[in-house]
Amino acid sequence: MNLKNILLSLSLCLAAPAFADGIAAVKSFNENTQSFAGDFKQTIKNAKKTTTSQGTFAVLRPGFFKWTYQKPDEQLIVGDGNSVWLYDKELAQVTQRKQQAVLGASPAAILSDKAALESNFTLKNDGEKNGMAYVVALPKTADGEYKQIRFGFNADNILQHMQLDDSFGNHTDIVFSNVKNNPNLPKKEFQFTPPDGVDVVREEE
Protein backbone atom coordinates (compact mmCIF):
# COMPACT_ATOMS: atom_id res chain seq x y z
CA MET A 1 0.00 0.00 0.00
CA ASN A 2 1.43 3.35 -1.02
CA LEU A 3 1.60 6.40 1.24
CA LYS A 4 -1.49 7.99 -0.34
CA ASN A 5 -3.65 4.95 0.37
CA ILE A 6 -2.32 4.67 3.92
CA LEU A 7 -3.22 8.28 4.63
CA LEU A 8 -6.67 7.82 3.07
CA SER A 9 -7.38 4.73 5.20
CA LEU A 10 -6.21 6.55 8.32
CA SER A 11 -8.42 9.56 7.60
CA LEU A 12 -11.46 7.31 7.12
CA CYS A 13 -10.79 5.61 10.44
CA LEU A 14 -10.48 8.92 12.24
CA ALA A 15 -13.68 10.23 10.66
CA ALA A 16 -15.78 7.18 11.53
CA PRO A 17 -18.03 7.68 14.55
CA ALA A 18 -17.28 5.68 17.68
CA PHE A 19 -19.52 2.64 18.06
CA ALA A 20 -22.04 3.11 20.82
CA ASP A 21 -21.94 0.01 23.00
CA GLY A 22 -25.15 -0.02 25.02
CA ILE A 23 -24.47 -3.49 26.41
CA ALA A 24 -21.17 -2.29 27.86
CA ALA A 25 -23.02 0.68 29.36
CA VAL A 26 -25.53 -1.67 31.03
CA LYS A 27 -22.76 -3.79 32.51
CA SER A 28 -20.89 -0.73 33.78
CA PHE A 29 -24.10 0.69 35.22
CA ASN A 30 -24.83 -2.55 37.07
CA GLU A 31 -21.29 -3.01 38.33
CA ASN A 32 -20.78 0.55 39.55
CA THR A 33 -24.22 1.73 40.66
CA GLN A 34 -25.49 0.90 44.13
CA SER A 35 -27.99 3.75 44.31
CA PHE A 36 -29.32 6.52 42.08
CA ALA A 37 -31.91 9.25 42.29
CA GLY A 38 -33.27 12.19 40.33
CA ASP A 39 -36.27 13.53 38.44
CA PHE A 40 -38.38 11.87 35.77
CA LYS A 41 -40.92 12.76 33.12
CA GLN A 42 -43.14 9.91 31.95
CA THR A 43 -45.34 9.81 28.85
CA ILE A 44 -47.67 6.89 28.13
CA LYS A 45 -49.24 6.59 24.68
CA ASN A 46 -51.77 4.17 23.25
CA ALA A 47 -54.34 4.23 20.47
CA LYS A 48 -56.80 6.23 22.56
CA LYS A 49 -54.84 8.78 24.57
CA THR A 50 -51.56 10.21 25.79
CA THR A 51 -50.86 10.92 29.46
CA THR A 52 -47.86 12.71 30.92
CA SER A 53 -46.68 12.78 34.51
CA GLN A 54 -43.56 13.84 36.36
CA GLY A 55 -41.91 13.58 39.73
CA THR A 56 -38.86 12.23 41.54
CA PHE A 57 -37.37 8.77 42.04
CA ALA A 58 -34.82 7.01 44.21
CA VAL A 59 -33.41 3.47 43.98
CA LEU A 60 -31.23 1.59 46.46
CA ARG A 61 -29.98 -1.78 45.36
CA PRO A 62 -31.02 -4.42 45.94
CA GLY A 63 -34.77 -4.16 46.29
CA PHE A 64 -35.60 -0.63 47.45
CA PHE A 65 -37.25 2.08 45.36
CA LYS A 66 -39.49 5.12 45.64
CA TRP A 67 -41.37 6.86 42.80
CA THR A 68 -43.08 10.10 43.77
CA TYR A 69 -45.57 11.35 41.18
CA GLN A 70 -46.12 15.07 41.65
CA LYS A 71 -48.03 16.10 38.51
CA PRO A 72 -50.78 15.89 37.39
CA ASP A 73 -51.86 13.66 40.32
CA GLU A 74 -50.02 12.95 43.54
CA GLN A 75 -49.12 9.28 43.93
CA LEU A 76 -46.38 7.42 45.74
CA ILE A 77 -44.99 3.96 44.94
CA VAL A 78 -42.58 2.51 47.49
CA GLY A 79 -40.76 -0.82 47.51
CA ASP A 80 -39.38 -1.56 50.97
CA GLY A 81 -37.83 -4.92 50.12
CA ASN A 82 -40.86 -6.92 51.25
CA SER A 83 -43.93 -5.00 50.08
CA VAL A 84 -44.85 -2.55 47.36
CA TRP A 85 -47.04 0.30 48.58
CA LEU A 86 -49.16 2.42 46.25
CA TYR A 87 -50.58 5.55 47.82
CA ASP A 88 -53.11 7.58 45.85
CA LYS A 89 -53.57 10.84 47.70
CA GLU A 90 -56.70 11.94 45.82
CA LEU A 91 -58.46 8.63 46.45
CA ALA A 92 -57.14 8.48 50.03
CA GLN A 93 -56.23 4.84 49.41
CA VAL A 94 -53.18 2.67 49.96
CA THR A 95 -52.63 -0.69 48.27
CA GLN A 96 -50.07 -3.11 49.70
CA ARG A 97 -48.81 -6.14 47.78
CA LYS A 98 -45.96 -8.58 48.21
CA GLN A 99 -42.98 -7.17 46.37
CA GLN A 100 -41.89 -10.45 44.81
CA ALA A 101 -45.34 -11.03 43.33
CA VAL A 102 -45.66 -7.52 41.94
CA LEU A 103 -42.28 -6.97 40.35
CA GLY A 104 -41.39 -10.01 38.29
CA ALA A 105 -39.44 -8.67 35.32
CA SER A 106 -40.89 -5.17 35.57
CA PRO A 107 -38.84 -1.97 35.12
CA ALA A 108 -38.88 -1.41 38.89
CA ALA A 109 -37.36 -4.85 39.43
CA ILE A 110 -34.80 -4.28 36.71
CA LEU A 111 -33.67 -0.98 38.15
CA SER A 112 -33.56 -2.20 41.75
CA ASP A 113 -31.95 -5.59 41.04
CA LYS A 114 -28.68 -5.81 39.11
CA ALA A 115 -29.30 -9.38 37.99
CA ALA A 116 -32.91 -8.96 36.80
CA LEU A 117 -32.20 -7.52 33.36
CA GLU A 118 -29.82 -10.13 32.00
CA SER A 119 -31.73 -12.93 33.76
CA ASN A 120 -35.01 -12.11 32.03
CA PHE A 121 -33.98 -10.38 28.80
CA THR A 122 -31.63 -10.74 25.85
CA LEU A 123 -29.66 -7.54 25.25
CA LYS A 124 -28.90 -6.05 21.83
CA ASN A 125 -27.04 -2.86 21.01
CA ASP A 126 -29.28 -0.25 19.40
CA GLY A 127 -26.87 2.44 18.27
CA GLU A 128 -26.45 6.01 19.41
CA LYS A 129 -28.75 9.03 19.40
CA ASN A 130 -28.36 12.48 20.92
CA GLY A 131 -25.12 11.44 22.59
CA MET A 132 -26.64 8.39 24.26
CA ALA A 133 -25.80 4.72 23.75
CA TYR A 134 -28.92 2.58 23.47
CA VAL A 135 -29.60 -1.07 24.19
CA VAL A 136 -32.80 -3.04 23.59
CA ALA A 137 -33.87 -5.72 26.05
CA LEU A 138 -36.02 -8.48 24.53
CA PRO A 139 -37.83 -10.89 26.89
CA LYS A 140 -36.58 -14.46 26.96
CA THR A 141 -40.15 -15.75 27.37
CA ALA A 142 -43.12 -14.86 25.18
CA ASP A 143 -45.64 -14.51 27.99
CA GLY A 144 -44.09 -11.49 29.70
CA GLU A 145 -45.77 -8.15 30.23
CA TYR A 146 -43.28 -6.26 28.06
CA LYS A 147 -42.46 -6.84 24.41
CA GLN A 148 -39.28 -4.84 24.71
CA ILE A 149 -37.52 -2.26 26.89
CA ARG A 150 -35.03 0.24 25.50
CA PHE A 151 -32.42 1.98 27.65
CA GLY A 152 -30.30 5.03 26.89
CA PHE A 153 -27.06 5.83 28.74
CA ASN A 154 -24.90 8.94 28.55
CA ALA A 155 -21.12 8.95 28.15
CA ASP A 156 -20.71 8.38 31.90
CA ASN A 157 -22.93 5.27 31.73
CA ILE A 158 -25.69 6.97 33.70
CA LEU A 159 -29.24 5.99 32.79
CA GLN A 160 -31.04 8.84 31.02
CA HIS A 161 -33.88 7.26 29.06
CA MET A 162 -36.24 4.27 29.11
CA GLN A 163 -38.83 3.23 26.53
CA LEU A 164 -41.21 0.37 27.17
CA ASP A 165 -43.64 -1.40 24.85
CA ASP A 166 -46.07 -3.66 26.69
CA SER A 167 -48.40 -6.41 25.55
CA PHE A 168 -51.43 -4.11 25.93
CA GLY A 169 -50.32 -1.70 23.20
CA ASN A 170 -48.93 0.99 25.50
CA HIS A 171 -45.69 2.82 24.75
CA THR A 172 -44.08 4.38 27.82
CA ASP A 173 -41.30 6.94 27.48
CA ILE A 174 -39.37 7.96 30.62
CA VAL A 175 -36.75 10.71 30.58
CA PHE A 176 -34.50 10.97 33.64
CA SER A 177 -32.83 14.22 34.65
CA ASN A 178 -30.68 15.59 37.47
CA VAL A 179 -29.57 12.02 38.10
CA LYS A 180 -27.15 11.41 40.95
CA ASN A 181 -25.22 8.15 40.95
CA ASN A 182 -24.48 6.51 44.28
CA PRO A 183 -25.99 9.11 46.62
CA ASN A 184 -26.32 8.20 50.29
CA LEU A 185 -29.82 6.71 50.58
CA PRO A 186 -30.59 5.19 54.00
CA LYS A 187 -32.99 2.24 53.98
CA LYS A 188 -35.32 4.13 56.31
CA GLU A 189 -36.17 6.45 53.40
CA PHE A 190 -37.94 3.50 51.80
CA GLN A 191 -40.17 2.72 54.75
CA PHE A 192 -43.83 3.58 54.35
CA THR A 193 -46.56 4.00 56.94
CA PRO A 194 -50.11 4.61 55.67
CA PRO A 195 -51.39 8.05 56.70
CA ASP A 196 -54.21 8.21 59.21
CA GLY A 197 -57.70 8.05 57.75
CA VAL A 198 -56.89 6.32 54.46
CA ASP A 199 -58.28 3.01 53.25
CA VAL A 200 -55.67 0.25 53.16
CA VAL A 201 -56.14 -2.66 50.77
CA ARG A 202 -53.79 -5.58 51.33
CA GLU A 203 -53.47 -8.01 48.43
CA GLU A 204 -51.78 -11.32 49.16
CA GLU A 205 -50.83 -12.06 45.54
54: CATH: 2.50.20.10
Number of domains in the chain: 1
Please report, rounded to a whole number, the percentage of residues in the chain having pLDDT higher than 70: 88
Give domain status of residue 10, yes or no.
Answer: no
Phi/psi class of residue 109: alpha, beta or left (left: φ > 0; alpha: ψ in -120 to 50)?
Answer: alpha
Give domain status of residue 158, yes or no.
Answer: yes
For residue 138, pLDDT beyond 70? yes
Give domain status of residue 5, yes or no.
Answer: no
How far, in Å, CA of 119 to CA of 201, rounded?
31
What is this structure's pTM?
0.84
Give domain status of residue 93, yes or no.
Answer: yes
Expressed as residue numbers, the domain containing 112 is 18-203
Give domain status of residue 124, yes or no.
Answer: yes
**Measured CA distances, 198 to 44, 135, 191 (Å):** 28, 41, 17
Give domain status of residue 48, yes or no.
Answer: yes
Per-residue pLDDT reduced to its tens digit, 90-132:
999 999 999 888 876 677 778 888 888 888 889 999 999 989 9
In one-letter notation, the amino acid at residue 44 is: I
Give domain status of residue 97, yes or no.
Answer: yes
